[in-house]
Amino acid sequence: MLAINRKSLKMKNDSILAVRTLVISLGATAASMFVGVYGVIIGSSAAEMGWLQSSANSIANSGQLLWGRISDRFGRRKPFLFLGSIALAVLWLIMSSVSTPVELIVTYAALSLVAAMITVNWFSLIADITASSRRGHFLSILNNVGSLGTLLALGAMIFLLHGSARKEIQMPFFAAAASYVVSAILVMQIKEKEHKTRVTDSIRKTFSNMKEHGHFYRYFVAMNVQGFFWSMAWPIFPITIVSIMHFDLPTIALLTVIALVSTIVAQFLVGRIVDRVDRTPLIFINRLMLAAIPLCYAVFNTFYEFVFLEVYSGIAGAIQNVVMMSYLMDVAPEKHRAEYISIMNGFNGAVYFVGALTGGYVLELLLESHTLQVSLPIVYGVIVAGRFATSFLFLRLREPENRGGGQLGLYGVLYRLKHPGMPSGATVKPR
């Protein structure tokens, strides 16, 4: 009887987790992809777009580390998930009513901070209530459910949205608010157990010893150096899409669907071969592919060229998600995996902050003496050159001797690589 009750509880928890993933992907995940476009529509300058992207990304990364330590000390996840869901519902409603770039920047920064609390407690809850023997499989199911929900939501927006008016883009924001109200109700139905974790204070010591782990250190340096030029493009993409190409919201939704479908299909194909080949050449090729994306944004001028670009960036994103995540999990020292990847998170957040801010301000500076049509190719040229040159840092990577033994831990899931060329300039935030 006890075994039956445990099985029934496990199935109930699994069902609630899956339903909640679907609900959030239908609302909040789809809505997050339109935030950058929204900034352009309400008149954000290039510098303000830089602040929008940089503040959100840095807060999302650093916030996970902050909330993770608080949550571990508290020992329970449901209160954070419930209160965070209510707070995000309110913030998405506020998002739909903002009318100035400054209001948007502040609101989205606050939303990113609360979303970080949701993210770390969501995965902590999954880690607490699922057995390690099935956790990886279960996470893959949740990711598939989330991808399906996002595609359905964006597909619906292709038909529901009709232009680029401010009132049009409020629709996905209202859906995001509603999804978090439902989330708050769902998470309270989950049965959790108290799980306090001893929080260590050795992050500084871990950082000082990082050079002793050569595989990880070389990867850490390469990712952060290129991350600067990578993030420079984030505030520029939506400006190109809206102000140069004049794509309306249904078109942007369609391009995003194409990118996501391409990523999902390519991830399936890459995932079948990644464990049987040397990953370091694939990583180098992937970083070179990233250099071509801003070049395409600079020279493409038709819808069909951007369709090709989204298929291309989807393939690049698939290689990135599968190969680089696999490599990271293998080169992070097994006994210190959480600490090492948390350091990677923190530095990525700082680099992305500086990079996105730099991209916005460089464009703003050029616009003082040149038109947007002239300024954008110059900025893209700097980004392409920086991405291309820093790609050669990845030639220093080597396969670790002990490969493939790393289990997908909590911080490994939290370390989510950003999509390389989303047409809205958005980052996928499926929590």
Residue range 396-414, pLDDT digits in tens: 998 887 655 444 444 444 4
The single-letter code of the amino acid at 162 is H
Q: Is the per-residue pLDDT at 246 higher than 60?
A: yes
User: Residues 246, 261, 285, 380: what is their CA dihedral angle, to the nearest 10 degrees?
Assistant: 10
pLDDT at residue 143 in the model: 73
Indicate if 78 and 176 belong to the same structural domain. yes
User: Residues 243, 169, 165, 310: what is their CA dihedral angle, to the nearest 10 degrees?
Assistant: 30
Residue 194 in any domain: the answer is no
pLDDT at residue 77 in the model: 81
Residue 195 in any domain: the answer is no
DSSP state of 320: I
Whether 300 contacts 383, CB under 8 Å: no
Indicate the number of domains in the chain. Answer: 2
What mean pLDDT is predicted for residues 251-256? 88
Indicate if 159 and 293 belong to the same structural domain. no
- Model pTM score: 0.81
Residue 201 in any domain: the answer is no
Indicate if 212 and 87 belong to the same structural domain. no
CATH assignment at residue 358: 1.20.1250.20
Return the closest-CA partner of residue 359 out of 108, 59, 53, 41. Answer: 53
How far CA 190 is from CA of 81, 261, 363, in Å, comes to 11, 31, 48
Residue 10 pLDDT class (50, 70, 90 cuts): low
User: Where are the alpha helices (H) located in 98-235, listed in sequence order?
Assistant: 101-129, 132-160, 166-187, 203-208, 214-232
Distance between CA atoms of 54 and 61, rounded to whole angstroms?
A: 11
Return the closest-CA partner of residue 110 out of 59, 70, 66. Answer: 59
DSSP state of 76: -
Instruction: Output the furthest CA–CA distance in the chain (Å, rounded).
Output: 77
What mean pLDDT is predicted for residues 251-273? 83
CB atoms within 10 A of CB 206: 17
pLDDT at residue 202 in the model: 56
Altogether, the residues listed in the chain come to a count of 431
pLDDT at residue 425 in the model: 53
Indicate if 239 and 298 belong to the same structural domain. yes
Indicate if 255 and 323 belong to the same structural domain. yes
295-333 per-residue burial string, b: 16 or more CB within 10 A, e: under 16? bbbbebeeeeebeebbbbbbbbbbbbbbbbbbbbbbbbb
DSSP state of 424: T
Residue 421 in any domain: the answer is no
pLDDT at residue 354 in the model: 92
3-state helix, strand, coil in the chain (%, to 5): 80, 0, 20
pLDDT in tens, 114-162: 888 887 788 777 777 776 556 656 766 777 788 788 888 888 888 877 7
Residue 429 in any domain: the answer is no
Q: Which one is predicted more confidently, 406 or 168?
A: 168
Cα 264 from chain centroid (whole Å) = 15
Distance between CA atoms of 236 and 42, rounded to whole angstroms?
A: 15
Residue 2 in any domain: the answer is no
pLDDT at residue 364 in the model: 94
Residue 425 in any domain: the answer is no
Indicate if 234 and 364 belong to the same structural domain. yes
What percent of the chain lies above the pLDDT cut of 70? 80
Angle between helices 337-367 and 214-232 (to 10 degrees): 30
Indicate if 347 and 383 belong to the same structural domain. yes
Indicate if 175 and 213 belong to the same structural domain. no
pLDDT at residue 275 in the model: 63
Indicate if 29 and 133 belong to the same structural domain. yes
Indicate if 356 and 216 belong to the same structural domain. yes
Domain boundary among 126, 159, 187: 187
Residue 397 in any domain: the answer is yes
Cα radius of gyration (the chain): 21
Residue 2 pLDDT class (50, 70, 90 cuts): very low
pLDDT at residue 209 in the model: 73
Return the closest-CA partner of residue 290 out of 214, 195, 386, 360. Answer: 386
User: Where are the alpha helices (H) located in 272-420, listed in sequence order?
Assistant: 279-299, 303-319, 325-331, 337-367, 372-391, 410-414
Terminal C-alpha separation, the chain? 35
Indicate if 172 and 231 belong to the same structural domain. no
What mean pLDDT is predicted for residues 66-71? 71
Owning domain of residue 353:
206-414
Distance between CA atoms of 236 and 222, rounded to whole angstroms?
A: 23
Indicate if 399 and 265 belong to the same structural domain. yes
pLDDT at residue 237 in the model: 92
pLDDT at residue 408 in the model: 44
